[in-house]
Structure 1
């Protein structure tokens, strides 16, 4: 993720340093009354001075005497352009289509994946269903509740062959933790003790809630 504050600080600092250096060079080498103010205002375009004022200087000797001045101006100008371009690129990236996975944006915590308006956490360790639910709750998230088949297919492509706990549980019928029914997919279950839901590459499965599995948390991105 790109540190926005650092980029802005570097741009401002480079302009201040550029002004001081160019002001010093101009006082010692070139036109002391004219160039410091102009270049302090137009540092990113300083390379134009290199080409536009050679004839005005009138002699190659004078031009050689000011060569260090132009090199510094060009380098600092290009540095400013580069930093501004990086800042603009980051802004465009984070303002892109809502369905693009933008992991570099600052809207999701570290180690969470972004998809549309949500962040997802894929655990490495294994816990039972209730402990997985407690972990997600402590992270200001919920144990994964799927919205549709599109979201389900995306997550199935991201997980390995292992089962992952999701926020699906069976009382009288299979329901998500918010109370809404499972209505877009079938769940495989062949035992009365399989009362907690899990997801794998093959689909949704019922399992005993005491089994140790990995889990997936989900929360709205900031």
Structure 2
């Protein structure tokens, strides 16, 4: 009787050992695939591949960009100066965010951070302008008229705008206009 119990326990131990090996192998394969998938993810450069984004209304945006009212937006968490941000957006065939209306203002207000926006003070015109040369709508960012004209502007989701040194590092939003 003692021999049959030992044989039974050896059999059970062997089966449990095989199950453990199978589980460890499965976990190893799953972790390897997970890490490999993460390392293949696209970098900040969206590349030429485009696909229709959810909620884009009518536009086809590059991967990782968000479509809204026929424009594409890319929110960057990387911290850069205003000039570095503007130049990076330009390298992506876009510009720093410029807000055209209240709906767009609400759309970009979903974040909790401050972002560089594409506004600058034009000494030539004596006023603040968007990067593309258009004037700021009077009803959007009224407090900007009192800002230090030697500084740059950041925007937050609380509808706050601040003037800060253009050399400070901040997040930024690039915008591609498709229409």
Tell me, yes or no, if the aligned pair for 2:78 and 2:171 is still in contact at 8 Å.
Answer: yes
Q: How does 1:138-217 map to 2 (within 5 A)?
A: 138-157=91-110, 159-160=111-112, 162-171=113-122, 172-183=126-137, 184-185=139-140, 186-188=142-144, 192=148, 195-203=151-159, 204-217=161-174
Unpaired segments of 5 or more residues in structure 2?
1-51
Q: Secondary structure at the match of 2:60?
A: coil
Query: Higher strand share goes to which structure?
Result: 2
Tell me, yes or no, if the aligned pair for 1:189 and 1:205 is still in contact at 8 Å.
Answer: no
Q: Report which stretch shifted further, 141-150 or 185-194.
A: 185-194
Tell me, yes or no, if the aligned pair for 1:144 and 1:216 is still in contact at 8 Å.
Answer: yes
* 1:164 CA displacement: 0.1
* 1:102 CA displacement: 3.9
Tell me, yes or no, if the aligned pair for 1:193 and 1:207 is still in contact at 8 Å.
Answer: no
Cα distance in 1 for partners of 2:127, 2:166 equals 15
Point out the structure with max Rg over C-alpha: 1
Taking structure 1 as the reference length, the TM-score comes to 0.49
Count of residues paired in the alignment: 121
Q: Secondary structure at the match of 1:125?
A: strand
* 1:174 CA displacement: 1.2
Taking structure 2 as the reference length, the TM-score comes to 0.59
Cα distance in 2 for partners of 1:123, 1:198 equals 14
* Higher normalized contact order (CA 8 Å, seq sep 6+, divided by chain length): 2
Tell me, yes or no, if the aligned pair for 2:56 and 2:70 is still in contact at 8 Å.
Answer: no
Unpaired segments of 5 or more residues in structure 1?
1-93, 95-99
